[in-house]
A and B are shown apart, each in its own frame.
Chain A
Amino acid sequence: MNSVVAGITYRAVLGRRRVLLLILLPLVLIGLALILRAVGSTDEKATVTLMQVYAIGTMLPLLGLIAGTGTIAPEIDDGTIIHLLSKPISRPMIAITKFAVAASLLALFAAVPTFAASYLLIRNEAGIASGFALGALIGGIAYAAVFLLLGVITRHAVTIGIIYAVVWESLVGGLVPGARNFSIQQWAQTFAGQISTSDFFKPTVSIGFAIPAVLIVTIGAVLWAGQRLRSLSLTGDE
């Protein structure tokens, strides 16, 4: 971890217009929870559905995309990253720092609101609030790593990321049973299921698969991003 790199990265991400999305998406979650509460649907089933469909199924991958790519892709695009790369700091260290920034943003903008929305509805009944908060935290960490890597290896990180989030995670991961094993949001649900005791919620991926899967994907993506940064080429304008 390098505190100078982290400081500049926080300011770069939070100073861009995209930060509004980082705030807006969790606000929608809280808003939905408040609406459900207003209409009296403060039961376990409604809460679990909100968590699965919106918090983990929609908000988390989108926030992952914004935070993961946002910590590095714009800087590569406009060339400002040269300031960090032309220093005697190992490139993998820069990747790790940027990953940590993205993961911390996801903890703040995904995991905390997930807990809050759930808590607004049913307190911590059946461990749903803390379970999904844990799921969002761990899923967020994995997304941060994957989207950081995407931001390093391609200039079309956002487009590819959206296609990944929508097509793979929402459609394939949701519909095709076998593909669920390879879906970050399914892993997130598995971790949620470790704490939650709700009868309305049965994760499909086993924890014995989810733990190594998250570790391999996260560590692998960050290391790969670091290696790719070592070979980052600038072509100039000619």
Chain B
Amino acid sequence: MNIELAQVSRWYGNVVAVNDVTMTVGPGVTGLLGPNGAGKSTLLHMMAGFLAPSTGTATLDGRPIWRNHQIYRSIGLVPEREAVYGFLTGWQFVLSSARLHRLPSPEDAAAKALAMVEMEDAKDRRIETYSKGMRQRVKVAAALVHDPQVLLLDEPFNGMDPRQRLHLMDLVRELGAAGRTILFSSHILEEVERVAQQIEVLVAGRHAASGDFREIRRRMTDRPHLFHVRSSDDRRLAAALIADASSGAVSLGEEGLEVQAVDFRRFTWLLPRVARDAGVTVWQLSPADEDLESVFSYLISRSTR
């Protein structure tokens, strides 16, 4: 099944949370990547029927998602918020989900779903006694109980320990390989890389990039990098660096050198050699913009060009 967003925007008052996004999410695993506050949850809520687009349309195989409870026959949703009915046991929670879906044998479906997330042992404990990762897993079980064609997960790996995380990643990959349409949001590139075939990058409400992880990874490393360099002779090093095409700009300041490397690989290969040949000792080399935010804002500036 396909989820289609066509020129979807969503604003709250004067604040634009999602800005003119068009994307199709098809079978397989899609990662929705973006920094915190990029509008990932807003976008996911529109795909899940919990938010109306301000403009544009969100559809599931052509059917409108908003104000259409029938879509939940095909959609399983794992919301980010931790809140679940704490007074229910894991078993009761997943079973209630099966009953709400009016499945023919809710007990079997609930048992199967709990087994998928390896929660059989703790199923008779009340959810309020669960750790964050366990809550996350029963939420996944409740969302999977009706074997949905579409699964939407909002930051599903948050709060899980490494083993649980790997297990859920495997599960998500398996479900995707079986032809289900799966979309999950995350602000961690490595997480998305490990699980998703398709990556959609959202930055500041805009659809900044789209592609498989190699494509996204290449775009993220193949960009001008900014480095701070401190050395025994900044001026001499600056002169040596600017002579090579890998440096776009070099500026000399009180704090040392600031170098804009246009060819990342060549620059990292070149710097030690240039310094050695010039007889300069490099004391410090630090990337100035390696945080995800700057990577994302670079993608944004490229996508709007």
Residue positions of A touching B, CB distance < 8 A: 2, 4-5, 7-8, 11-12, 15, 78-80, 82-91, 230-238
Contacts and interface: CB of A to CB of B under 8 A. Distances in A.
B27 interface: no
Contacts of B52: 231, 233
A159 to B, nearest CB: 22
B71 to A, nearest CB: 8
B163 interface: no
Contacts of B250: none
A39 B41 CA distance: 64
Interface string B166-207: 000000000000000000000000000000000000000000
B101 interface: yes
B80 A236 contact: yes
Contacts of A11: 85, 87-88
B243 interface: no
Contacts of A7: 96
10 contacts: A2-B100, A12-B87, A83-B84, A83-B85, A84-B100, A89-B69, A231-B67, A233-B45, A236-B154, A238-B41
B142 to A, nearest CB: 7
Contacts of B273: none
A234 B50 contact: yes
A80 B85 contact: yes
B268 interface: no
A238 B69 contact: no
Nearest to B95: A4
B101 A88 contact: yes
Contacts of B100: 2, 4-5, 84, 87-89
A86 B42 contact: no
Contacts of A85: 50, 69
Contact of B50 (A2, A15, A89, A232): A232
A8 B72 contact: no
